[in-house]
Structure 1
């Protein structure tokens, strides 16, 4: 089956038409990593479709998430160079580390070069996130540790921002409300204190000039801090927007997958004269929902991990619905029953 899919993709490479593109996209929606990688290449080169770096990166990253090593290497390089996505050394090192731990020689050399030139110097917390994320694909405990540390990092970053805002507010209040000058004692005699008055005026004048200089410096620092804060806020807003776009695209892909499932259900119902669905047909529908092929079902550990991921999308408390969650639970029972046979 895998050889047949790969052979069909090679044919599509040399003759890309509208129907071929839709076929390839349908395979990509069905979580075929080779089809996802090929679709990303088409968007990247503008073959049969308008060139789009963002779409190219999205599909290549999907292929990487599904275990395509060539796609994983390209995603790592994209994060290093900022091609099709904002530059992010931490993400790049994660993908290179994943490849390196699986024996990918080029990734091992690339990691060595990054650390040698100190361009990959990451704090301990970021390194822990990378290793937890690598292990999370095979261990639920590592997935839980990754989520906890990610939440801790977000809270620390938020606390630092709040502290900076308070510091800026204090500096602004101090610059707008300078301390009042003390009144000079009244002169006892003009003749006796004329010299002292002149000296005192010079001293107070110097203090006033120094105070105004300090105020000016503090104001400049305040403006600089405000610009830095605005820049950081803008960057975070941009990242949040990109994450929202990514989630939106994923939901679109899931919606398309759901439509394919509904179409398959309709075909099954129209081809059968009775309302009874055979066991093999139920298994095909369940596998379609999970993104598996009935002849290529993974072990129970991978099935349960996939179920957790889909629950985050179909659960009623997470913008899903009761019907979708019931369908997911029923599909899980069918697949597990088949695996236990």
Structure 2
């Protein structure tokens, strides 16, 4: 009998906790930012990566709180360190633009690569841009081509235009290298093919 009461108590607490977690996300979706802030702050401080990411968004955009890029960066950083793909993308943007932190192209590249290797489409497009412009890496048309082709595979707007543009700028050797990089990625997992490329 005591075991049954204990089990019921645990189940009741678990359901209540799950409902509280959902309230924060539902409130955010309904633009009830005061309620969202209350529940998401609680979960974020308990280490929930999704709540941390969403708090970062709230502070970054000023949703129910004053815009605070430093606070947004802090929440993105905590969430990204737990492997949250969207937080790594947001962290990459913060490093790329110097939002809430000093610009750091190398750390931006690292964050975007983390997300890109987990199929975050826009991260792939941005990585292509970074290799094209030499942000945090040496300019590399073949690697820009690779990332833009991988972005195109996920139907990202702008990827095809970038590919057409860079093909006009590439030498035959650069194109062959870029195409070879892309072909090898199609034969392997994305992670295995990219870890063989310099600067990855």
TM-score, length basis structure 2: 0.58
| Aligned residue among 90, 95, 110 for 1:38 | 90
Between structure 1 and structure 2, the one with the greater Rg is: 1
Contact 2:95 2:108 in 1 (8 A): yes
1: distance between equivalents of 2:105 and 2:154? Answer: 28
Establish whether residue 15 from structure 1 lines up as the match of residue 95 from structure 2: no
- The residue that corresponds to 2:141 in the other structure is 89
1:230-269 maps to which residues of 2 (within 5 A)? 243=199
Gaps (5+ residues) in structure 1? 152-238, 247-341
Structure 1 residues 90, 9: CA separation in 2 closer, same or farther (over 3 Å shift)? same
> Partners of 1:37 and 1:128 in 2: how far apart?
27
2-side partners of 1:111 and 1:126: how far apart? 11
Please give the residue correspondences for 1:50-129 in structure 2 after superposition, counting only pairs within 5 Å.
50-115=102-167, 117-119=168-170, 121=172, 122=174, 124=176, 127-129=179-181
Partner of 1:204: none
| Counterpart mapping for 1:153-172 below 5 A | none
With over 3 angstroms needed to count, the CA separation of the structure-2 counterparts of 1:135 and 1:75, relative to structure 1, is same
Residue 54 of structure 1, CA deviation: 2.1
CA deviation map 1:149-202 (0-9, x unaligned):
x69xxxxxxxxxxxxxxxxxxxxxxxxxxxxxxxxxxxxxxxxxxxxxxxxxxx
Q: Does structure 1 conserve the Cα–Cα contact (< 8 Å) formed by 2:143 and 2:178?
A: no
How far apart are residue 100 of structure 1 and its match?
A: 1.6
> Aligned pair in 2 of structure 1 residues 48, 103: CA closer, same or farther (>3 Å)?
closer
Query: Alpha carbons of 1:102 and 1:21: their partners in 2 closer, same or farther (altered >3 Å)?
Result: closer
Deviations 1:98-118 (A, max 9, x none): 122232341112212222x25
SS in 2 for 1:67: coil
* 8 Å CA contact 2:125, 2:156 repeated in 1: no
Whole-Å Cα distance in 2 between the matches of residues 7 and 23 of structure 1? 8
Counterpart-to-counterpart distance in 1, 2:132 and 2:102? 25
SS in structure 1 at match of 2:158: helix
Structure 2: 5+ residue stretches without partners: 1-20, 26-49, 61-66
Report the CA distance shift for 1:33/1:119 in structure 2 as closer, same or farther (over 3 A).
same
Question: CA, structure 1 residues 11+120, in 2 after alignment: closer, same or farther (shift >3 Å)?
Answer: farther
Aligned-partner Cα distance in 2 for 1:110–1:118: 11
RMSD: 3.2
- Per the normalisation by structure 1, the TM-score is 0.36
Contact 1:31 1:66 in 2 (8 A): no
